[in-house]
Amino acid sequence: MEKKMKRRDFFNSCLGGLAGINIFFSSGKHRLSLKDSNKEGEETNVLVKVLGTAQDGGLPQIGCYCKNCLRAREDQRFSRLISSLAIIDLGEKKFFILDATPDIRIQSDIAFNRLALRKQGRKNSPHGVLLTHAHIGHYTGLMFYGYEAMSTHKLPVHCSSRMKSFLSSNGPWSQLVRLENISIHTPSLEKEFLLTPRISFTPFLVPHRNEYTDTLGFIISGEKRKLLYVPDIQSWEAWSRSIVEENRKSDVALLDGTFYSSEELPGRDLSKIGHPFIKTSLETLKNVADEGKTKIYFTHLNHTNLALDPEGEARKEVGEKGFGIASEGMEFFL
């Protein structure tokens, strides 16, 4: 009887392990098979694909069991990868990553899968990486290009001069430079830089908490359209540019939507964290949304964000005012 029980316990534990493995692979398959149902713009050879939309800590966030994090753990479809974009040239069969997040392994697969390239060999890296700044959700994925993982060779990394100095002077990032896993480029601010004959980007400074480096935003230009990307900024008023006019110059904008309102983090002074509230942006950009030329979406959503709930009042208000919440898998043809 005891032997039968041991065999049964062993069998049950194996089933439990297989179930766990199945959950892991189902999670990956869900993301790789996301339908690109939300496409913007006339189809061209250039597209930007949204790889993630969460703030640096992701959703669910480590150690947090708030309402949103609990829901994300129970329903993988509610979870969100950390904010990142793939810039893809379908004609050249090349892709570039904008912000190397801690979720880079999954996000690289999503971008690679979109190109429908033959999957073989070990070193299927992007053709370049663009970095906004040195907060954890935006650059720490670079570690997977190093000696212990993909071990790329002179992978182009485009960033600011201060970011280059930070990476070159501080380990473990300096090892990537020393071993030539990455090759750092510092394109001139406010100047257009070609990635492929069809794709260019223009970097510019934005005010933010610059503990280690400064912070960049980008305009991504394709064959016919432009996309404005500002996932992190102190406030629209602190910027030397007019956010209203910058939106009007672009066809699509993906903007800092970290917090919906001050209600989200009781007891904390959000002014010291430094992000414009979505509610504020809805008013600031009301006329741009009403004009209808520029499609405006919010990204970089904190795990507390009230607009995460697709059935909630906050999401309803965003939609009614002509804005959107960015979601993983969205595609914008440029």
Higher confidence at residue 66 or residue 121? 66
Q: Which residues contact 24 (CB under 8 A, 6 or more apart)?
A: none
Q: For the chain, how many residues are written?
A: 334
State the pLDDT at residue 146.
95
Average pLDDT score, the chain: 88
Tens of pLDDT, residue by residue over 150-193, are 999 999 999 999 999 999 999 999 999 999 999 999 999 999 99
Nearest in space to 274 (alpha carbons), one of 264, 289, 284, 259: 259
Answer whether residue 8 shows pLDDT above 50.
Answer: no
Kindly report, residue by residue over 85-138, the tens digit of the pLDDT. Answer: 999 999 999 999 999 999 999 999 999 888 876 565 566 789 999 999 999 999
Top-level class of domain 38-327:
alpha beta
User: What are the extents of the domains in the chain?
Assistant: 38-327
For residues 244 and 4, which has the higher predicted lDDT (pLDDT)? 244
Whole-prediction pTM: 0.88
Residue 218: band (very low, low, confident or very high) from pLDDT cuts 50, 70, 90: very high
**In this model, does residue 291 exceed pLDDT 60?**
yes
